[in-house]
Amino acid sequence: MEPESLSRERYLSVLIVIIISLFIGLALLVVSKFLRPKRPYREKLTPYECGIPSTGETWDRFNVKFYIVTIAFVIFDVETVFLYPWAIVYKKIGFYALLEMYIFIFLLIIAYFYALGKRIFNWRED
Amino acid sequence: MKETLYVILITILKTALYFGILMLHVAYATYAERKIIGHIQLRLGPMVVGPHGLLQPIADIIKLIFKEDIIPSNVDKKIFTIAPLISLTAALSTFAVIPVSPQWFIADINVGILYVLGILGLGTYGIIFAGWSSNSKYAFLGGLRSVAQMISYEIALAMSIVGVIIMAESFNFIEIVNRQAQYPLGMFLFPQIIGYFVFLVAMLAETNRVPFDLPEAETELVAGYFVEYSGIRFSLFYLAEYLAMFCMSALATICFWGGWTIPPLLVKIFPFLSFVPPVLWFILKVYLHMFLFFWFRGTLPRYRYDQLMAIGWKVLIPLALLNIVLTSLIKYYL
């Protein structure tokens, strides 16, 4: 085991890398700002639409399936969050941990088949 | 206090070196892609700028910096301007914990895999922000598709790595590689073949590459979520995509291909291989995966959206779960 201060400094380096990454992006934007031309006119600033004026709202209603898939994602992602620490320690805890995770996965599979039956993963209505 | 300052300074220097080399690799990955796809399609690829077009990526970078940055009049300006920055920061900061050899890394933290997966997940925000704020139908559809695709395959990706974690009993990248070196073949690839397959498919979908490049399906959505971007902001998205490809290749190399170690069996047959520096061996494996990306792009047609969702939810996730159950059972009784 290493002293705690050392490991804290490792996370500090991660933070520094994140800041540098952000800085690189910002630096590219700023450098380009001084070098690029700026000649806007009305037609140039219209949204892209194959040469004709675009009609209707963009931020309109869209297919509800995107929303349902997101909910399914949350459920499965929480399961993954449980699986990760379990994967490291289950052998130390013993058979109990193994069995418990299998029961958990089994319950999830029931829910999964329910979702399949409700056809939420089918994007074509036929 | 003095020690902390020292750590900060060293990290900045290390990061500058690491990112400098990384950016060079990214620039030439775009060249390699154009060249390889060119030859697959019986063309020559870039030939004009420099010998065999070798200076093409540098010309591209200069061109993109000097291009006008068009911000359409009806966009949500704040979100529109920061979206590419989020994508780039997320893709770039994953490399904080990815080691290229036992000595060459920026930070060696205990939760390396969790960090990489978490930060890669943040990249999705850049895409949904770009798609929504552009106020263009193509961008909106592309953004929606992209997010649904990325979150669907994120589950498969995360689950495919659980098998590796069970075998390595660690989240730390260096520990995972060391554990693989104990096997005669020096890789988790063979015991984790199902996991690797799931990872490979999910990796293509997560980086929005062919055959899962629906968000930017150029025949129907023009360019998907970044259709309204131009100049430097467009190139930030482009950069983020290639960085994510490198990150995924590095992850596949570390988790399934034994990282920088040379399989012990191979060393026994060819003893001279032990003189290959670990870094070179690592880069070779990463470029093997990068070549896969290019090869698929040159060969495969695009999936339909319903097929894409069906593959993610009905094939990959059950396969990944099966892999977890099998691996944990075998590992428990071994």
**Average pLDDT per block of 10 residues along chain A, 126 residues long:** 58 88 89 83 74 72 84 87 88 86 90 86 73
Residue from A5, A7, A28 to probe the interface with B (highest B Cβ count within 10 Å): A28
User: pLDDT (tens digit, 9 = 90+) per residue, B175-232?
Assistant: 888 888 888 787 888 888 999 999 999 999 888 887 887 766 666 677 777 877 888 8
Read off the pLDDT band of B291 (50, 70, 90).
very high
User: pLDDT (tens digit, 9 = 90+) per residue, A3-27?
Assistant: 444 567 778 888 888 999 999 889 9
- Residues 66-85 of chain B with CB under 8 A from chain A are 66-74, 84-85
Q: What is the CATH number of the domain that holds A111?
A: 1.20.58.1610
Euclidean distance between CA atoms B330 and B239, whole angstroms: 41
Chain A residues near residue B72 by CB distance under 8 angstroms? 45-47
Would an 8 Å CB–CB cutoff place B238 in contact with chain A?
no
Work out the average pLDDT over B229-246: 88
For residue A79, the enclosing domain spans: 4-117
Task: Kindly give, in sequence order, each residue whose CB lies less than 8 Å from that of residue B198, ignoring residues fewer than 6 positions away.
Answer: B156, B157, B159, B160, B316, B319, B320, B323
Position A75 in a domain: yes
Q: Can you list the positions of beta strands (E) in B192-294? A: none
Chain B residues near residue A52 by CB distance under 8 angstroms? none
User: pLDDT (tens digit, 9 = 90+) per residue, B113-165?
Assistant: 989 998 988 888 888 888 888 888 888 888 888 888 888 899 999 999 999 99
Task: Kindly give, in sequence order, each residue whose CB lies less than 8 Å from that of residue A25, ignoring residues fewer than 6 positions away.
Answer: B84, B85, B88, B89, B92, B236
Position A125 in a domain: no
Chain B residues near residue A46 by CB distance under 8 angstroms? 72-73
Chain A residues near residue B123 by CB distance under 8 angstroms? none
**Alpha-carbon gap: A1 to the closest alpha carbon of chain B (Å):** 12
Euclidean distance between CA atoms A69 and A73, whole angstroms: 6
- Residues 4-23 of chain B with CB under 8 A from chain A are 4, 7-8, 11-12, 15-16, 19
Chain A residues near residue B233 by CB distance under 8 angstroms? 29
Residue from A14, A61, A107 to probe the interface with B (highest B Cβ count within 10 Å): A14
Cβ contact, residue pair A84, B70, below 8 Å? no
**Alpha-carbon gap: B178 to the closest alpha carbon of chain A (Å):** 16
Residue type, B61: I
Question: How much of chain B is helix, strand and coil, in % rounded to 5?
Answer: 75, 0, 25
Read off the pLDDT band of B36 (50, 70, 90).
very high
- Which tokens hold the place of B278? 């670990």
Which residue in B289, B258, B265 sits closest to B188, CA to CA? B258
- Residues 140-159 of chain B with CB under 8 A from chain A are 140, 144, 147-148, 151-152, 154-155, 158-159
* Cβ-based contacts under 8 A for chains A and B: 194
- Say what the pLDDT of residue B219 is: 66
Position A124 in a domain: no
Work out the average pLDDT over B5-15: 87
Euclidean distance between CA atoms B309 and B304, whole angstroms: 9
Cβ contact, residue pair B108, A38, below 8 Å? no
User: pLDDT (tens digit, 9 = 90+) per residue, B17-31?
Assistant: 989 999 899 999 999
Contact at 8 Å (CB) between A76 and B257? no
Euclidean distance between CA atoms B95 and B18, whole angstroms: 9
User: pLDDT (tens digit, 9 = 90+) per residue, B314-331?
Assistant: 899 999 999 999 998 888
Q: What is the mean pLDDT of chain B?
A: 87
Q: Tell me the DSSP string of B90-124.
A: HHHHGGGS--SSSS--S---TTHHHHHHHHHHHHH
- Say what the pLDDT of residue A1 is: 42
Cβ contact, residue pair B233, A36, below 8 Å? no
Position A126 in a domain: no
Chain A residues near residue B305 by CB distance under 8 angstroms? 123
Closest chain B CA to residue A32: B65
B170 C-beta neighbours (distance < 10 Å), count: 19
- Which tokens hold the place of A58? 């963009």
